[in-house]
Amino acid sequence: MEVRAEFKKFHDVEADALVVTIYEGEKAEEGALRDLDERSGGLLRELIGSDEMRGKQGEMVYVHKPGDIRARRLLLVGGGKREDSSLDGVRKVTGSAARFLRGKGARSMAMLRRSQLDIGSSAQAAVEGALIGLFEPDRYKTEDKEERRITELILVAASPGSENELARGVERGRIIGDAINLARELSNEPASTLTPTELAERARETAARFGLDIDVLDEARMKDLGMGALLGVARGSDEPAKLIVLRYTPEGAEPMGTGGEVIAIVGKGITFDSGGISIKPSEGMEKMKYDMSGAAATLAVMRAIAQLKPSVNVIGLMPTSENMPSGRAYKPGDVLRAMNGTTIEVINTDAEGRLVLADAMTYAKKLGATRMIDLATLTGSVSVALGAVNVAILGNDQVFVDELRGAAREVGERFWQLPMDDEYRELIKSDIADIKNSAGRYAGTITAAWFLREFAGDVKWAHLDIAGTAWENERKSYMSKGPTGVAIRTVINYVCNHTGKR
Ligand code: BES
Ligand code: MN
Ligand code: ZN
């Protein structure tokens, strides 16, 4: 999709459709709408205030031959209350409009800028919204495949002088939207296609294309490093595990390990979670191909960072394996020794995510991480607690957690903190080893986080449990159903705007 800005009158813009947001309570006689009303022969006066267009979010009216404007169609979309308008609103309105217009066969759409939000940020949000909105998880369809394409998005702004700001916003939006869709594409891939080896291959392609350093550790190297937790999980699978390590070094930065900040992003990369010997029920098991969504998010974040170039060192770690039952699989009752020496009693082989993350976190510290964010589809319990609405965030440093919550709020993502009282730590004590990998169902998200915390040590660490939010079961007007790419925008925002400016 080509995106460009035009500083023209809205009626001079050449496009298949012109999209205009109508806010609640607006009058057709006021401001920008007045011109449109006159050019369309009083159309707005008739529509606004009618039941068809009250400006409520989600409302749309599609008009053919809209009168004296160059665009061939007019799409009015409800924007909600103007005082509530937000970047997330811009994102959703643009996404909904793009999906709607694609369905009508439009190839180009022009968006009239009407929000009073910062011009660069709202351009960014609009581009993100369109890219996210137009993604379809239909790679494997041969029928009913969405073949229609919107190839042109034109942002129409009346205020010349802000060209640079707008162009930068468009560029940021494209980078972030494309990164999110890369993650969604990966999460959607069947597990027999996207094996750990294939995930490493895709990471190599991304690294080569965007100029990131990459190192892929195979099982032999992991064994030398003593990664008994990650290798324990991998044992049941015929597919060899990998630990993928990406590195972004800013220009002119102090080398890693010489005192500067090094942010590590660690993503759970279980390409298929059958549960192992503690096997899962077959109903819904097909969805466990998305148990690598944390790793996909990590790759997406690293790709965007390589393009946005913040002035901070960032490493991305993707511990990736299948979790399978077999004659060689690890078993309940086994004791594993993690890279940092901690011994772990395996209670449930289905609590595998924390095991692969444990060794990746230790390795991240070895590489010099001073701050860590892990992303993982870690527990079913997070859906019990927060449904599909909020990402659970937990951590060992309140300031860091608050910074991430703030970063989430700014990009319209919802994070909710769960508590880490010491009493929960008791629940992962083992009778025969240092800790155990499962403490049962109660407070499952919190005990899983306590497990990870053992491996963060004194590094500032935050954990994002995205098991409930990485997959959307319902189609939205602004987005297809399936993988969501959740938390990617937040982590990019945090890295680029909250630690070390560009
Ligand atoms: N990958 C699952 C968590 C999950 C469940 C993700 C549903 C997405 C949707 C994870 O590996 C798992 O199986 N967790 C167990 C932990 C338990 C055995 C302590 C769970 O949540 O049931
Ligand atoms: Mn599991
Ligand atoms: Zn899992």
Ligand 1: centre distance to CA 422 (Å) = 23
pLDDT tens per residue across span 404-434: 999 999 999 999 999 999 999 999 999 999 9
CATH classification at residue 27: 3.40.220.10
Active-site pick, 34, 39, 54, 280: 280
Q: Which two tokens stand for residue 56?
A: 């409520």
Within a domain: 439: yes
Do residues 134 and 205 both lie within one domain? no
CATH classification at residue 278: 3.40.630.10
Contact between residue 265 and residue 375 where contact means Cβ atoms under 8 Å apart: yes
pLDDT tens per residue across span 24-36: 999 998 888 999 9
Ligand 1: centre distance to CA 352 (Å) = 8
Pocket test for ligand 1, best of 350, 374, 428 (most atoms within 8 A of CB): 350
Do residues 9 and 46 both lie within one domain? yes
**In this prediction, what percent of the chain has a pLDDT beyond 90?**
89
Ligand 3: centre distance to CA 291 (Å) = 5
Active-site pick, 303, 354, 365, 460: 354
Domain count across the chain:
2
Mean pLDDT of the chain: 95
Q: Name which of 373, 391, 394, 395 is nearest 383 in CA terms.
A: 391
| DSSP line for 331-395 | -TT-EEE-TTS-EEE-S-TT--HHHHHHHHHHHHHHTT-SEEEEEE---THHHHHHTTT-EEEEE
Within a domain: 165: no
Rounded Cα distance, 67 and 36, in Å: 9
Cβ neighbors of 112 (< 8 A, separation 6 or more) are 10, 18, 19, 20, 21, 32, 156
Do residues 149 and 182 both lie within one domain? no
Pocket test for ligand 1, best of 379, 383, 466, 471 (most atoms within 8 A of CB): 379
**Residue 99 is a catalytic residue:** no
Ligand 3: centre distance to CA 455 (Å) = 18
Rounded Cα distance, 339 and 439, in Å: 22
pLDDT tens per residue across span 34-52: 999 999 999 999 999 788 9
Write the residue with the smallest CA distance to atom 5 of ligand 1: 380
pLDDT tens per residue across span 487-496: 999 999 999 9
In the prediction, which pLDDT does 258 show? Answer: 63
Cβ neighbors of 459 (< 8 A, separation 6 or more) are 365, 369, 370, 371, 372
Q: Does 170 have pLDDT greater than 50?
A: yes
Do residues 121 and 152 both lie within one domain? yes
Measured from the CB, is residue 468 less than 6 Å from ligand 1? no
How remote is the C-alpha of 61 from its chain's centroid? 31
Do residues 106 and 205 both lie within one domain? no
In the prediction, which pLDDT does 434 show? Answer: 98
Q: Read off the pLDDT of each residue in 247-275 and give the average, rounded to a whole number.
A: 89
Do residues 84 and 203 both lie within one domain? no
In the prediction, which pLDDT does 255 show? Answer: 66
The number of the ligand 1 atom at minimal distance from the alpha carbon of 440 is 19
In the prediction, which pLDDT does 31 show? Answer: 81
**Residue 436 is a catalytic residue:** no
Q: Find where tokens 């294309």 sit.
A: 209
Do residues 198 and 83 both lie within one domain? no
The number of the ligand 1 atom at minimal distance from the alpha carbon of 273 is 1
Contact between residue 320 and residue 242 where contact means Cβ atoms under 8 Å apart: yes
Do residues 20 and 57 both lie within one domain? yes
Rounded Cα distance, 403 and 460, in Å: 12
Q: Find where tokens 């061939």 sit.
A: 72
Ligand 2: centre distance to CA 197 (Å) = 20
